[in-house]
Amino acid sequence: MKPAPFDYRRPGTLSEAIAALAGEPDAKVLAGGQSLVPLLSMRLAAPSLLVDINGLPGLDTIEVTGEGDEPGVRVGALARHAAVLASDDVRRVQPLVPLALADVAHATIRNRGTTVGSIVHADAAAEMPVVLTLLGGSVEVEGPSGRRTIPADELYVGPLESSVGHDEIAVAAFFPALRPGAGVGFEEIARRHGDYALVGAAALVEGESVRVGFLSVSDVPTVVDLSGVADDELGDAALAQLEPMDDIHATAAYRSQLVRVLTTRVVRSAQEMAREGM
Binding site for ligand FAD (CB under 6 A): 28-36, 38, 53, 77, 104-105, 109, 113-114, 116-118, 120-121, 126-128, 164, 169-170, 196
Locate the DSSP E strands across 1-48: 7-9, 27-30
- Give min distance, CB of 209 to ligand FAD, in A: 26
Q: Reduce the DSSP state of residue 71 to 3 states and report it.
A: strand
CB nearer to ligand FAD: give 108 or 227.
108
In the complex, what is the shortest distance from the CB of residue 101 to ligand FAD, in angstroms, rounded to a whole number? 9
Cβ atoms of residues 154 and 147 within 8 Å: no
Shortest reach from residue 116's CB to ligand FAD, in Å? 5
Distance of CA 203 to the CA centre of its chain: 15
Measured from the CB atom, is 59 or 212 closer to ligand FAD? 59
Indicate the residue whose CB is closest to ligand FAD: 113
C-beta closer to ligand FAD: residue 128 or 273 = 128
Strand arrangement, sheet containing 70-76? 62-67, 70-76, 169-176, 138-143, 146-151
Shortest distance, position 142 Cβ to ligand FAD, whole Å: 9
Nearer to ligand FAD, 128 or 132 (CB): 128
- Helix H or strand E encompassing 225: strand 222-225
Strand order in the sheet with 7-9: 7-9, 49-52, 27-30
